[in-house]
Copies of this chain bind each other. A is one copy, B any other.
Amino acid sequence: MASSVLGGLTPRAREIVQAARGLLDEEGPGALSMRRLGERIGMRAPSLYEHVRDKRTLEAALISVGFEEQAALFTRATDRSEEPLIAVAAAYREFARRQPHLYRLMTERPLHRELLAPGVEDAAALPVLLAMGGDLERTRALWAFAHGMVILELNHRFPPDADLDDTWRKGIEAFRTMRPA
């Protein structure tokens, strides 16, 4: 199963979530409205509510799928890597750059964890924790750095001439040599 989150839905609900994902990826969060979404699958907006509780729940499904994809990507990146820290950081950045809209959706607001598929958040965090040798403190610090780099880049907050590859390298190096807990 490509996604256990999608697998747990009725076929029509799965269709809706997949259409929402398409809309999000192609046009960003601003285009993800119930009316646009209905249009995309040939249904009026109110009818979507027969299959999906509300928009927040729909977004939570997208976020759950995002966590699943992160978990797979991070695990693949760190497996068989001699420098798991560097590998997972690169994978983190790659995920955000390839799915900027989904990454934003996943991070820009407080999580409604009660709406997420159980376990997906932890599953995405686990490979990162393992790459940090199980040190929670260092993992959180690295995560903060990585998220900050990614979201500031997505928001065009760095000067255009900034060499972000270099900033990443130096930042990661700082955490690699950080004294373990």
Contact = CB atoms under 8 A, between A and B. Distances in A.
Interface of A: 107-111, 136-138, 140-141, 143-149, 151-152, 154-158, 162-164, 166-167, 170-171, 173-175, 177-179
Number of copies: 2
Q: Is the interface of A mostly helix, strand, loop or mixed?
A: helix
Contacts of A143: 148, 152
A162 B137 CA distance: 8
B171 A144 contact: yes
12 contacts: A107-B152, A109-B155, A110-B155, A111-B156, A140-B164, A141-B167, A143-B148, A144-B148, A147-B151, A148-B148, A174-B174, A174-B177
Identify the 4 closest CB pairs spanning chains A and B, nearest first. Answer: A148-B148, A144-B148, A141-B171, A147-B148
